[in-house]
Structure formats: C-alpha cells, structure tokens
Amino acid sequence: MITPNSGARSRMDYGLSVAVVLLVAIGLIMVFSTTFTMKDDPAYYLKLQVMWACIGLSAFVILSRIDYHKCRPGHPVMVLSVLGLLVVLIVGGVRNGAQSWLFKASGQPTEYAKLGFVIYIAAWLASKGTRFASSPMV
C-alpha cells in the first residue's frame, strides 16, 4: 500500500492487484461459458472481452503508478461529465426511444456521469476534513 510520505513507485498493494486479476479472469470464464453458443465463432464474445480486459488492466497498471494524494479530480471530472450529458442532448442518437447514446449507440455518457458524480462527492467530502467526523449525527 502506498503511504502518504512515500513515492508512488515505492510499493504496490499486490494482494489487491492479484484480486483484480483473478476477478477479471473469472469474469472472462463466465462470459465464455454463457456466450459460446451464440455465434458461429464460439470465442467471439470472449475475444471482445479479452481486448477490453487488456485495455482495462493496462489502465490499472498505469493509474496505479500515479500518486493519488496529489490528484484532486473532483471539479474537472464533474465538468467533463456535465459536458458529456450536454453533448448527448445536442447530437445524441435515439435508440429504443431514449436519446442517451453517442457514436452510433456505442457510448453512453450517463455511465461516466455516475462515476464523475461519485468522484466529485468523494473529493468534496475529503476537502471538508474532520468537520463531518466531529459533527453530531442528527
């Protein structure tokens, strides 16, 4: 685990990393076991998921090297989320009666907005410090 006084490259939580890799592997096995009869190529969906898993695990390795103590992404992430939602209103495509898609139904900014909202609230609560911890619960 990275401590606040150490550099971001000093130590990594290997237990968490192993857990993430195992969960991804179990997920890939589950995808293959449920979709191998759906197309002519039994591994069609598995290949897609392996591609996205490689991209995700690469992002995991890169982002694990960043010192999160110096990163305060609350406001920029929220602004990008709101901009994504506005873009959907302007140029979003309609699918199944909902105008919530971008790029020919391959992108849904509402999912990123949910994550952005959680990151924003976490950053806001962290900025309040111990004020919430010391206030009486009503």
Residue 137 has a pLDDT of 61
**Shortest CA distance to 113 belongs to which of 95, 89, 132?**
89
Residues 105-111: what's their mean pLDDT? 71
For residues 10-46, one letter each, b for 16 or more C-beta atoms within 10 angstroms of the residue's C-beta and e for the rest, the string is eeeeeeeeeeeeeebeeebeebbeebeeeeeeeeebb
Tokens of 116: 């952005």
Among the listed ranges 45-59, 72-86, 93-107, which one has the minimum average pLDDT value? 93-107
Residues 16-28: what's their mean pLDDT? 92
Residue 118 has a pLDDT of 85
Which sequence spans correspond to the domains of the chain? 1-70, 72-138
Residue 127 has a pLDDT of 78
Q: 60 or 93: which carries more pLDDT confidence?
A: 60
Residue 3 has a pLDDT of 46
Give the span between the Cα atoms of 120 and 78, in whole angstroms. 6
